[in-house]
Amino acid sequence: MKSPPQVVIYTDGGCSGNPGPGGYGIVLVNGDHRKEMSGGFRLTTNNRMELMAVITGLKALKRKCRVRIVTDSQYVAESMTKGWAARWRANSWKNKRKEQVLNRDLWEELLMLCEEHEVSFSWVRGHDGHAENERCDELAVGATRQPGLPADEPYELCHCKKKYKEIFHLKV
């Protein structure tokens, strides 16, 4: 039986303000093949864009692969390598302080995609001269500057609801 292809997915996400307009950049490498992708949203957070980069990279795969995700996000890398995300799911999306986990929608999608592939995560220091990470950063920053960015609907719905309650002094 032929083993699945090996792919490296380099990712980065960021925002201009946090929250603010956000973008993500991805570089997929499979042997001599290389693909770059980016996207963004008009109002989101840095952590959501870091997660979206990984999710978008995994969704681009057409068949089961052995994947190494290279990210400068400790939030993403540690949540996956230390098993926190899996524990949050097992604990009805509550963290160890019994609080609701932020970005549940994206964590659910990421965990599901990781079950479709053989995925490992590696962390690299951002803005430290790593060529692929620097390219992902350029793509992410460029994406935040695109006109007509779409809504990150799960974030905006939650964010606006919370702001509404704060403005009118309602219990959150």
25 classed as catalytic: no
Report whether 4 contacts 63 (CB < 8 A).
Answer: yes
> Of 12, 14, 25, 152, which one is the catalytic site residue?
12
36 classed as catalytic: no
> Of 13, 14, 25, 39, which one is the catalytic site residue?
13
What is the torsional sign of CA 154, 65, 118, 6? negative
> Of 83, 127, 142, 166, which one is the catalytic site residue?
127
> Of 23, 40, 50, 152, which one is the catalytic site residue?
50
Report whether 53 contacts 140 (CB < 8 A).
Answer: yes
Phi and psi at residue 82, in whole multiples of 5°? -95, 0
> Of 40, 72, 132, 152, which one is the catalytic site residue?
72
Say which amino acid occupies 41: F
13 classed as catalytic: yes
Exposed/middle/buried for residue 111 (C-beta within 10 Å: 0-12, 13-18, 19+) = middle
Parallel, antiparallel or unpaired: strands 118-123 and 66-71: parallel
39 classed as catalytic: no
137 classed as catalytic: yes
> Of 14, 57, 132, 137, which one is the catalytic site residue?
137
72 classed as catalytic: yes
- Those residues whose C-beta lies under 8 Å from the C-beta of residue 23, and which sit 6 or more positions away, are 13, 14, 15, 38, 39, 40, 41, 49, 139, 140, 141, 142, 143, 144, 145, 146
Residues annotated as catalytic (active site), given as ranges? 12-13, 50, 72, 127, 137
